[in-house]
Amino acid sequence: MPINDEIFARMDELSPAEKKVARALLSNYPSAGLDSAARLAKSAGTSTPTVLRLLSRLGIGSYPAFQALLREEVAHYMSSPVSRTEQVRGLQDEKSLLSQAIRERVALVEALETQVPPSEFARAVKALADRPKRVVISGGYFTRYFAMLVARQLDQVIHNVDFLSEPLGHDIGKYLGLGKGSVAIVLDFRRYEMAAFTAAQFAKARGATVIVITDQGLSPATSHADIVLPVKVDGIPFDSDAGLLVLLETLVEAVLLATGDRGIERMKEWEKSVQVMRAYGVQNHARAVQVATAAPEARRGGGEQAS
C-alpha cells in the first residue's frame, strides 16, 4: 500500500502531533517527504522526533528508508501512459487479457474500502446533504465527464448544483456566488492540472467547503481542501476510472439517503419535469413524422399557406 494511503487509513490511530505531520505530508505529497525531516517537522509545527514516531508507527525504520520508498512511488505512479504500456507490452497473454483486466478493476473498486477514510466520506456527505447554498463541481481533461455526471445526478437530489466546464474561463463567475455554506468539488487526477489547484484555492478563499477527489498520489489541490477522497487508479494504457465511478455513485446514494424525504421530493419534481419534457418531445416528433410523410403537394401547399 502506498504510504499516503496507509496514513489515510490509520489517521484515527495517530496522536494530535502525529496528525499534524501527516497532514503536512499529505497536503504536499510526496514533495514534503522528499525534504529533510527537520523541514517537514517545521512545516507541521512539530518536532523531528514526532516525524520519526509517525514513521515508526507506519513500520518504517528511518527517514532515509522513508525517502527511498517515496522515490520508488514517484517512479511508478508518475510514469506516463506510454511508458507504463511499454513496460508491460509483451508480458500479457492476449487470451487472458479480459479476465485479468476485470480482476484488476474489481481490485480497484475493492480498494475503496481501505483507500477512502470513512470519516472523510461522512464529512463529504454531510456537507452536501445539509442544504448547501450552492454546489459547484469541476474536473480535468478526462474527469470533467465524471464531474458532469455527478453534477447531473446530485442536481436531482439537492438544489443549486452546477457543473463548471471551464472553471477558470466563462464559468468563473459561478465562484463569485460561493461563500460560507457553499461546497466546491474538484476532481483532479494525474497528470495534475493547475486549473484544479487554482479553482480549489479560489473556492477556499471564498469560504466554501472544498472537497477534492483525486488519485493515490494526491493532487496539489489537496493543499486547499477541507475534505480529500483519494481513489486508487491503475491501468494500461490509461488509468482506470472504475474506482472513481463507484465512489461517485456511492456519494450520490449516500447524499440521497441523508436528505431523507427532502431528497425524495426533489427527485419527484425532477420526474414530473422529465415526463412533461418527454410528452412535449413525443408530440413534436409525431408532428414532424406527419409532415415528412405527407404528399409533396400537401407539403408545398402547407408551406404556401404558412407563408
Sequence spans of domains, the chain: 3-79, 116-259, 262-298
> Chain centroid to CA 275: how far?
31
- Residue 239 · residue 233 · CB < 8 Å: yes
Q: Show pLDDT as tens, one digit a residue, over the chain (307 residues).
A: 788 888 888 888 899 899 999 988 887 787 788 889 999 999 899 999 999 999 999 999 999 999 888 887 766 655 555 555 555 555 555 567 788 888 888 988 988 888 888 889 999 999 999 999 999 999 988 899 999 999 999 999 999 999 998 888 888 888 888 999 999 999 998 878 888 999 999 999 999 999 999 988 788 888 899 998 989 887 666 778 898 999 999 999 999 999 999 999 998 988 887 765 566 655 565 565 566 666 555 545 544 444 3
Give the whole-angstrom CA distance, residue 170 versus residue 236: 34
Is it true that domain 116-259 has CATH number 3.40.50.1820?
no
Q: What is the pTM of this model?
A: 0.63
What's the pLDDT score for residue 98?
81
What's the pLDDT score for residue 139?
92
What's the pLDDT score for residue 77?
58
Q: What angle do CA 247, 19, 64 make, to 5 degrees?
A: 100
What's the pLDDT score for residue 174?
87
How many Cβ atoms are within 10 Å of 205's Cβ, its own excluded? 12
What's the pLDDT score for residue 171?
87
Assigned fold of 3-79: Arc Repressor Mutant, subunit A (1.10.10)
What's the pLDDT score for residue 306?
41
**Nearest Cα residue to 143 out of 96, 75, 195:** 195
